[in-house]
């Protein structure tokens, strides 16, 4: 799942596109990083036997390329190897911070995550999902330690792949965690301003054009409500309903633990996403760890197994069972709880 395809072609993954954007920024100027012609040119140089199509674009925000910049000294292949090592370490750190229970049972959460298809698929693609998982886990831990501004600042770093946590700041705000949101807004705002300053008007125009084209790529919405409601207005209406339900649920749970509120924001994002892939469900591992800290009915804990299995077999089963399973989990999180989190 991970080793064999990467051994066959170490550049056949999504980090290669980030490396391409980085190279364009360094060699041609950051205002050109979203130029499809330059991306195609460098892609052909790095992978001359591969096809450049609508899945081969660099559409990540500039901070992702800046994050990978130090790894560029190792070359394209070396950057991928380094990124994979960082990703595995991020998973371990996130597990250490957020997984519930005591050792040795606590170790089962890590083993389960390492055996889960979405996570392995994300590793195979050298995605940043595990780094996002670490950022959010560390933000939750800082919130628990009554350091909300620092928690928010760390959460702001998730802008390198914003779709994984898109509704989380809104959920935190509706739940009264406004100090966390202030920290998030400062860092996210600074990174957005820096990005705009660096890419300029031309870069922004190219970026918006790529986003518009990406919106019409069926694969980008296959694991969203668009699979059920279609790609047009009805899907956007469904996503708006999810967002409103998440805000209502956050308000109802404003006296609940940080763990429950963070889990609600993560799950709501996955249900209401407009741009989502199978590997992006990796972030639900963190949501499960946080959710488990609550005193839950046995069936709700058991339901996490349904979520895990429907994600494991999402390709042969189609996204529908997974969307239903995560939707039920979302409803469980919306319902108000009067109990505090159990001890880690």
Per-residue pLDDT of the chain (344 residues; tens, 9 = 90+): 667 677 789 999 999 999 999 999 999 999 999 999 999 999 999 999 988 876 678 999 999 999 999 999 999 999 999 999 999 999 999 999 999 998 888 999 999 999 999 999 999 999 999 999 999 999 999 999 999 999 999 999 999 999 999 999 999 999 999 999 999 999 999 999 999 999 999 999 999 999 888 888 888 999 999 999 988 889 999 999 999 999 999 999 999 999 999 999 999 999 999 999 999 999 999 999 999 999 899 999 999 999 999 999 999 999 999 999 999 999 999 997 654 443 33
Alpha-carbon distance values, 62 to 31, 55, 209 (Å): 10, 18, 15
- Helix ranges restricted to H, 69-177: 75-98, 105-114, 117-124, 129-144, 148-156, 168-174
Integer Cα distance of 24 and 58 in angstroms: 11
Integer Cα distance of 276 and 282 in angstroms: 11
Dihedral over Cα of 174, 262, 63, 223: its sign: negative
DSSP 101: S
């Amino acid at each position: 799942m991970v080793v064999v395809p990467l051994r066959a072609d170490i550049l056949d993954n999504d980090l290669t596109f980030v490396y391409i954007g980085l190279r364009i920024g360094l060699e041609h100027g950051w205002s050109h990083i979203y130029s499809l012609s330059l991306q195609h040119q460098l892609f052909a140089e790095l992978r001359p036997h591969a096809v450049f199509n609508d899945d081969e674009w660099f559409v990540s925000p500039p901070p992702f390329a800046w994050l990978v910049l130090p790894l560029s000294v190792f070359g394209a292949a070396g950057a991928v190897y380094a990124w994979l090592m960082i990703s595995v370490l991020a998973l371990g750190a996130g597990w250490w911070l957020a997984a519930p229970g005591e050792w040795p049972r606590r170790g089962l959460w890590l083993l389960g995550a390492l055996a889960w298809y979405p996570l392995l698929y994300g590793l195979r693609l050298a995605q940043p999902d595990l780094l996002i998982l670490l950022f959010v886990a560390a933000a939750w831990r800082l919130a628990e330690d009554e350091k909300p501004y620092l928690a928010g600042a760390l959460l702001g770093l998730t802008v390198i792949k914003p779709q994984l946590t898109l509704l989380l700041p809104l959920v935190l705000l509706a739940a009264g965690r406004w100090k966390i949101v202030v920290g998030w807004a400062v860092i996210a705002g600074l990174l957005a301003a820096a990005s705009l300053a660096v890419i300029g008007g031309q870069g922004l125009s190219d970026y918006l054009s790529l986003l518009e084209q990406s919106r019409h790529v069926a694969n980008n919405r296959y694991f969203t409500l668009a699979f059920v409601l279609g790609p047009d207005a009805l899907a956007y209406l469904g996503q708006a309903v999810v967002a409103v339900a998440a805000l209502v649920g956050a308000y109802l749970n404003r006296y609940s633990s940080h763990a429950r509120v963070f889990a609600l924001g993560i799950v709501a994002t996955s249900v209401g996403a407009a741009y989502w892939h199978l590997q992006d469900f990796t972030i639900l591992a963190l949501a499960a760890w946080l959710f488990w800290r609550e005193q839950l009915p046995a069936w709700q804990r058991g339901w996490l197994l349904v979520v895990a299995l429907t994600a494991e077999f999402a390709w042969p089963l189609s996204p529908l069972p997974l969307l239903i399973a995560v939707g039920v989990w979302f409803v469980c999180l919306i319902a108000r709880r009067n109990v505090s989190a159990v001890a880690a």
